[in-house]
């Protein structure tokens, strides 16, 4: 086989991915003068990455295995468009040695390590064996080839509980389970294997000692084909939920200069064991005293922007230059650490409902401008649809500042000034996390979010005087906006009426809570708002995304979105969702009981965990769905008898479809 195609100059790049990372790669490639080719599934026909690229090729149906994971179709897309190189992004096939090999066989440059390097380091089991031989410290564990349940159970018993069951080919928390007793091990292995197979096509497992209260430290490395291998400092990725990173920052606030050099040297040693070429990340776990190697990711990481902001290096550009066959432009001692950067992952998910993914059309997309140290890497726009077939990440918000405290403040300000509607996002949760005193003081570990979850997802404050006045102003502003379209409408002038003075009454509520009443007085003279016994002078000046509201001489900025009778407001007091009670009656709402065991989102039934007629305790697992590449287990809402299972393994179910019926005991 001709290996001369491994590294050479090219003009056309195919990005074998979607969403935020595809957009990210396209922007740098275009800035370098490259022609870009996007690929897409039927669900992504109108996606942002498709619009950004010079050309785009349809791969197939929405399911990843029929599109983004289909190697033959990706190679054919490159052939059709004349692409000479492929950038895999992260996720999907980015760490798949078979894909890297197929690209080489097709005469394509794979922007990443070789298949051999990927096999050696991309496998968590294989890399641990290699690191053990190289003398890099490891977490005690089992990473052997035997995968039968008896072998895994014996290994777990020898290591000692708690243990971590982990997909060897995994990432992003998929195929990973914490197991604290022997009784939990069997079901955890079955579930982790099933999830790993669906996400990565490989259900090989490893078991390692679970480090309680750990910190997650990782080091960015990059190597070229001339024997140069650099580390670009470390990142702290300790703030996680279910092994999925939520917040990442660089450098780590935990390490001093000496510790930093030690861990970076260990990372270079680890990557050097395979003469690594391309961008990669060496991941470590710390128990507060020692640092242990856990795995290498042979690709770009989601959190790479924080490294870029503290070094001034465009990692995607360096990846492409390495693929051109160029030498890295800097030496190790020329890389400088400047300031602090922190990143938050914005997801389409509902933190108040166990982070259930949210799907639908994005009706409003307002994120702050990228300026003053704030960067936003997004894969969606207003009008785009979030489907249930892929990862739920919408964007990343990254802030840089000279100090950690200033970077946190800048990031939180960006989150507070973001409004995304039509779907539910984790933005309020991220803001609550950024303002948590333990995060500010760096008193964190990987379990902090789970321990503090109740406070981080607590309901916001009830609407006050400002919010009720803003709700009225939002309605009047919307009505006046409609009138502006008619040049002859008298309503173009706020508060217009033919004669005299009138009063208009409004009522709002939060959810199914009590009504809050407020009146608007308008006509001749200044307009006022009346709440109870208080009357406030009222003025409003519309602006993009909302209006300036002046109450008794105090001006406040308000962001507002109205969808029928549903109002979203953002004031200085936070975010508020209000329902405008229909002034003409006719309110009809469906009250769905919590006893309905229904699909929360479109998904696939992957396991039925209880039999019809079984007596169930409250919280007992009934069945498992695969939704957005993650497993969601539906549980009994109360103690009862499982009267009926209305689905079977393999069924593709739509949102709201009833899947099981539980009859309360005693009824």
E-strand stretches of 564-638: 566-571, 574-580, 597-598, 603-608, 615-616, 621-627, 630-635
pLDDT at site 135: 77
DSSP string, 29-91: HHHTT-EEEEEEEGGGTT-HHHHHSSEEEEEESSSGGGTTT-HHHHHHHHHHHT--EEE--SS
Q: What is the mean pLDDT of residues 227-234?
A: 97
Mean pLDDT, the chain, whole residue set: 90
Q: How confident is the model at residue 112 (pLDDT cuts 50, 70, 90)?
A: very high
pLDDT at site 648: 93
* Residue 162, preceding peptide bond in cis (omega within 30° of 0): yes
Instruction: Tell me the pLDDT tens digit for each residue of 264-315.
Output: 999 999 999 899 999 999 999 887 777 888 889 999 999 999 999 999 999 9
CB under 8 Å to 192, separation ≥6 — which residues? 165, 166, 167, 175, 176, 177, 205
CB 38 within 8 A of CB 50: yes
Instruction: Tell me the pLDDT tens digit for each residue of 308-336.
Output: 999 999 999 999 999 999 999 999 999 99
Q: Is 241 annotated as catalytic?
A: no
Of 253 and 200, the structure prediction assigns the larger pLDDT to 253
Domains of the chain listed by start with CATH number: 12-111 (3.40.50.20), 140-209 (3.30.1490.20), 215-456 (3.30.470.20), 465-580 (3.30.700.30), 597-664 (2.40.50.100)
Query: What is the C-alpha to C-alpha distance for residues 577 and 509, in angstroms, rounded to an integer?
Result: 9
Judged by phi (left if over 0) then psi (alpha if -120 to 50, else beta), residue 63 lies in beta
Query: What is the C-alpha to C-alpha distance for residues 562 and 571, in angstroms, rounded to an integer?
Result: 15
Instruction: Give the CA distances from residue 609 to residues 70, 184, 187, in Å, rounded to whole numbers and listed in that order.
Output: 31, 14, 10
The values of phi and psi at residue 612, to 5°, are: -55, 135
Q: How confident is the model at residue 4 (pLDDT cuts 50, 70, 90)?
A: low
Instruction: Tell me the pLDDT tens digit for each residue of 337-349.
Output: 999 999 999 999 9
Considering 101, 215, 260, 299, which one is annotated as catalytic?
299
Q: What is the mean pLDDT of residues 603-631?
A: 87
Q: How confident is the model at residue 1 (pLDDT cuts 50, 70, 90)?
A: very low
**What burial class does residue 418 get, using C-beta atoms within 10 Å of its C-beta: 0-12 exposed, 13-18 middle, 19+ buried?**
buried
The angle formed by the CA atoms of residues 198, 629 and 605, to the nearest 5 degrees, is 70
Measured in whole angstroms, the distance separating CA 491 from the mean position of its chain's CA atoms is 44
Please list the residues that pair with 400 across neighbouring strands: 341
Measured in whole angstroms, the distance separating CA 588 from the mean position of its chain's CA atoms is 35
Q: How confident is the model at residue 656 (pLDDT cuts 50, 70, 90)?
A: confident
What the block records as the tokens of 270 is: 């680890």
The helix (run of H) or strand (run of E) holding residue 474 is helix 465-484
How much is the pTM?
0.82
**What burial class does residue 587 get, using C-beta atoms within 10 Å of its C-beta: 0-12 exposed, 13-18 middle, 19+ buried?**
exposed
Instruction: Tell me the pLDDT tens digit for each residue of 474-528.
Output: 999 888 875 454 444 444 445 545 555 688 999 999 988 899 999 999 887 789 9
The values of phi and psi at residue 577, to 5°, are: -110, 115
């Amino acid at each position: 086989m001709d290996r001369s195609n491994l590294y050479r100059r090219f003009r056309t790049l195919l990005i074998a991915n979607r969403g935020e990372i595809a957009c990210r790669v396209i922007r740098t490639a275009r800035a370098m003068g490259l022609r870009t080719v996007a690929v897409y599934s039927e669900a992504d026909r109108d996606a942002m990455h498709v619009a950004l690229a010079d050309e785009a090729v349809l791969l197939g149906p929405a399911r990843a295995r029929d599109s983004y994971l289909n190697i033959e179709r990706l190679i054919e897309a490159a052939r059709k468009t004349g692409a000479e190189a492929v950038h895999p992004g992260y996720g999907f096939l980015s760490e798949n040695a078979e894909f890297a090999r197929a690209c080489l066989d097709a005469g394509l440059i794979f922007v990443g390590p070789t298949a051999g390097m990927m096999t050696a380091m991309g496998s968590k089991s294989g890399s641990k064996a290699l690191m053990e031989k190289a003398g890099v410290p490891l977490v005690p564990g089992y990473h052997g080839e035997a995968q039968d349940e008896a072998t895994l159970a014996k290994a777990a018993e020898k290591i000692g509980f708690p243990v971590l069951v982990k997909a060897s080919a995994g990432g992003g928390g998929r195929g990973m389970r914490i197991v604290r007793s022997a009784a939990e091990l069997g079901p955890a292995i079955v579930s982790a294997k099933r999830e790993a197979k669906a996400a990565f096509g490989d259900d090989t497992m490893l078991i390692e000692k679970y480090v309680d209260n750990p910190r997650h430290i990782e080091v960015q490395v990059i190597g070229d084909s001339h024997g140069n291998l650099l580390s670009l400092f470390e990142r702290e990725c300790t703030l996680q939920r279910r092994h999925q990173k939520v917040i990442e920052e660089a450098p780590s606030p935990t390490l001093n200069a000496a510790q930093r050099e030690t861990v970076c040297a260990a990372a270079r040693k680890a990557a050097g064991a395979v003469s690594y070429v391309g961008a990669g990340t060496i991941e470590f776990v710390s128990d507060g005293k020692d640092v242990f190697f856990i795995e290498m990711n042979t690709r770009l990481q989601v959190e790479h922007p924080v490294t870029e902001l503290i070094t001034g290096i465009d990692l995607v550009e360096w990846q492409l230059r390495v693929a051109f066959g160029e030498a890295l432009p800097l030496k190790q001692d020329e890389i400088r650490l400047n300031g602090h950067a922190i990143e938050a992952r914005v997801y389409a998910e509902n933190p108040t409902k166990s982070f259930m993914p949210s799907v639908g059309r994005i009706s409003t997309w307002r994120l702050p401008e990228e300026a003053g140290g704030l960067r936003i890497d997004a894969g969606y726009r207003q009008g785009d649809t979030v489907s249930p077939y892929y990862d739920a990440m919408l964007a990343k918000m990254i802030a840089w500042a000279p100090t950690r405290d200033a970077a946190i403040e800048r990031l939180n300000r960006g989150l507070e000034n973001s409004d995304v509607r039509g779907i539910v996002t984790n933005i309020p949760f991220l803001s609550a996390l950024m303002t948590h005193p333990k995060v500010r003081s760096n008193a964190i570990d990987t379990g902090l979010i789970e321990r503090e979850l109740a406070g981080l997802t607590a309901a916001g404050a009830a609407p006050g005087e400002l919010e009720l006045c803003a709700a009225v102003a939002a309605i009047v502003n919307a009505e006046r906006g409609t009138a502006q379209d008619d040049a002859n409408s008298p309503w173009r002038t706020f508060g217009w009426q033919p004669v005299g003075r009138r009063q208009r009454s409004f009522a709002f509520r939060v959810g199914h809570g009590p009504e809050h009443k407020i009146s608007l007085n308008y006509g001749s003279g200044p307009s006022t708002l009346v709440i109870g016994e208080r009357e406030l002078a009222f003025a409003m000046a519309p602006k993009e995304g909302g209006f300036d509201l002046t109450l008794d001489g105090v001006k406040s900025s308000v962001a507002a979105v109205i969808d029928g009778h549903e109002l979203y407001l953002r004031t200085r007091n936070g975010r508020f969702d209000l329902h405008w009670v229909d002034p003409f009656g006719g309110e009809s709402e469906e009250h769905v009981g919590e006893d309905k065991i229904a699909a929360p989102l479109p998904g696939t039934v992957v396991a039925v965990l209880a039999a019809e007629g079984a007596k169930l305790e409250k919280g007992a697992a009934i069945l498992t769905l695969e939704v957005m590449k993650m497993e969601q287990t539906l549980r009994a809402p109360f103690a009862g008898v499982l009267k009926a299972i209305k689905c079977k393994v393999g069924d593709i179910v739509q949102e709201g479809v009833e899947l099981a019926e539980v009859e309360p005991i005693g009824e």
